[in-house]
Copies of this chain bind each other. A is one copy, B any other.
Amino acid sequence: MTVIFSKKCEIGIQAILYLATEGEKELFNAHQIAEKVKQPKEFVSKVLQTLTSSGIVGSKKGKNGGFFLNRSANKVRLIEIVETIDGLDIFNNCVLGFPGCSSEEPCPVHDEWGRLRDEAYKMLSEETLEDLIDITKTKLLTLH
């Protein structure tokens, strides 16, 4: 089985979506977040630590510490999370695995797949966390 985004990236997105539902600067520790998104606490913690370097997430150490959404939900796009964790290789490399695939030297599905790929990139670049809050709230309630 393959996936489009790594497990790390999936967890990162889920955790940040949860923070977005709660509001900017609201503090939650890794344990609380992990419970909401039903993922392992250690992994959530690790991934959110990585995301603090991008400025999307802020953290507070020590007693009463935790993580918080550091920017307004309408200022954060999904692509930033993807880029921080997985990088953008998936949008640049050949889907068939041919090296050096380009418009000049295309693989046989280069144009069509490239179009879908660009649309995917565009979608991730345009959607902000704010756009996704309502459905995320509902979705999180279904997890158990």
Q: Which residues of A contact B (CB under 8 A)?
A: 1-7, 9-11, 13-14, 17, 38, 78, 86-87, 89-90, 93, 95-101, 105-110, 112-113, 116, 119-120, 123, 127, 131-133, 135-136, 138-139, 142-143
27 A-B interface contacts by CB (under 8 A): A1-B87, A1-B90, A2-B3, A2-B4, A2-B6, A3-B93, A7-B97, A14-B98, A17-B108, A38-B99, A78-B109, A101-B139, A105-B138, A105-B139, A106-B135, A106-B139, A107-B139, A108-B131, A108-B133, A108-B135, A108-B136, A108-B139, A109-B123, A109-B127, A112-B123, A113-B120, A116-B123
Q: Are A89 and B143 in contact (CB under 8 A)?
A: no
Q: How many copies of this chain? A: 2
Q: Are A4 and B4 in contact (CB under 8 A)?
A: yes
Closest to A4 in B: B95
Which 3 interchain pairs have the tightest Cβ spacing? A10-B97, A108-B132, A108-B135
Docked CA distance A66–B130 (Å):
57
